[in-house]
Amino acid sequence: MARFAAFVSLLAAGIVLQLSNGAEVNVTDKEGKLCLYANLMVNFSVSYIAGEKKDTAEFELPSAVTTDGSECGATSSTLKLNFRDGHSLSLNFTMDGNMYQADSITFSYNLSDATVFPGSGSNETESVTVKSQITKVGVDTCYSCDSKDMIITDMVNMTLSSVLIQAFVSEGNKSENITSCSADSPPTTAPPTTAPPTTPPPTTQGTNATTPAPVTNATTPAPAPVTNATTPAPPPTPTPTPTLLPPNIGKYSLNSDNSTVCLLATFGLRIGIKQGETFQEMNLDANETKASGSCGINSSELQLVSSTMTIMLTFINDTAKFRLHAVNFTAKTGSGVDFNAVNTNLTLWEAAIGSSYMCNKEQNYTITNMLSFYTFNLRVQPFGITNGDFNTAEDCETDVDSFLVPIAVGVALIVLIVIVVLAYFIGRKRNMSTGYESF
């Protein structure tokens, strides 16, 4: 694989092109030919410690960037955008046959930059790497996505928009062909149904007739039979609403860098989506779902991708307990319209570090006012796995209640049996005493 030192240039002038609506760069190889083109907008939201409290810095990718560290190769390329004081955004691309994709996005931020992080008590440069949604881009085409793509992690949120990228440029000329992201695709609308024209039956004429019957535009209906009672039309037969079968149970796992299991999850999932006045439910098909993600000390991510939806689950570790902290959900609905919902302030599926969370009963979770999750046979452990299997489970309240009910019923039956037995012996004793006095 050939690797070349890259630099920013215009096609003729060789300087950084600055635009107010984003960062646009042209990366060239050592021969001066364009090898990678990008124009994109990125908004960042970073949580950090300022003094003794937690603060959030919000800023955007400026138009003035450099591309030191960018590389162009035959089957892999790297776009690195450096900005301000020690911050950078990198996208790693790979080509496979006639398609290419961005494998990962890495954002590095310098906490000692007082302009961006006022009051920060750290001089460290932190980094976060996430999986990209830029996939299946045709060679010799530009990837285009005007819609917002939200990427959520424990400490950093990134929102990409107005993206136009060609990672592998042929012969130094940017392609005019576009591969659009699914979020930009217009909804599929069924064409209107047009009733076929009605052809009137031919008119039969007598043998002596020589002039055809006149044709008129008015149609005279046949007279309706006269009855003394009016019979109302029967009511239309209601169409039954299809009932979804329970979703199949999926088993998902992630491995760390040393190939040990670092995250385990087992559940069936049904999703409820509200769009306007329409409510739709769909099941996550575990048989067609691929799991990926990452494990960390303070946060872990599980991404589930099927043919109809993508779900990103973010778990955080507060040293004593773990919990589901964020959900990023996108799907193609039955009407063909893309749906997206995000919540980054959740406290669900909470259990102690070193144990797993389990809830066998069906549960309903309101993620947003437009999105609901229904879980079946849920068990999850994103931290502290030993021996490659779930640790001792902490049951949800519903499961505890489900155990208490039969226990309470059993105790009540035992008490009732004791009362009946005591009543029998007391009654028998009285009968025996009465018999002796009679004798």
Residue ending a domain, among 133, 160, 184, is 184
Domain assignment present for 228: no
**Running DSSP on this structure, what letter comes out for residue 438?**
H
HSE at residue 321, side-chain half, CA atoms within 13 A, is 10
Domain assignment present for 129: yes
In this structure, the answer to whether residues 151 and 295 fall within a common structural domain is: no
In 10 A of CB 339, how many CB atoms? 19
In this structure, the answer to whether residues 35 and 170 fall within a common structural domain is: yes
Domain of residue 54 covers: 7-184
Taking alpha carbons only, the member of 252, 283, 287, 251 closest to residue 270 is: 283
Question: What's the CATH number where 327 sits?
Answer: 2.40.160.110
In this structure, the answer to whether residues 170 and 256 fall within a common structural domain is: no
Query: What is the full DSSP assignment across 156-206?
Result: EEEEEEEEEEESS-STT-----EEE-GGGSPPP-PPPP-PPPPPPPPPP--
Domain assignment present for 326: yes
In this structure, the answer to whether residues 175 and 255 fall within a common structural domain is: no
Taking only the tens place, the pLDDT of each residue in 339-380 is 889 998 899 999 999 999 999 999 999 999 899 999 999 999
- Counting as low any pLDDT under 50, the low residues of the chain are 1-20, 188-196, 198-230, 239-241, 399-403, 438-439
Domain assignment present for 223: no
* Residue 104 to residue 97: CA distance in whole angstroms: 19
In this structure, the answer to whether residues 374 and 273 fall within a common structural domain is: yes
In this structure, the answer to whether residues 156 and 299 fall within a common structural domain is: no
Structural domains in the chain (count):
2
In this structure, the answer to whether residues 16 and 122 fall within a common structural domain is: yes
In 10 A of CB 46, how many CB atoms? 22
Give, rounded to a whole angstrom, the gap between the first and last alpha carbons of the chain.
115
Residue ending a domain, among 146, 164, 184, is 184
What is the pLDDT at residue 21? 58
In this structure, the answer to whether residues 170 and 277 fall within a common structural domain is: no
Torsion sign over Cα 282, 283, 288, 292: positive
In this structure, the answer to whether residues 117 and 25 fall within a common structural domain is: yes
Q: What is the pTM of this model?
A: 0.46
In this structure, the answer to whether residues 157 and 284 fall within a common structural domain is: no
HSE at residue 20, side-chain half, CA atoms within 13 A, is 0
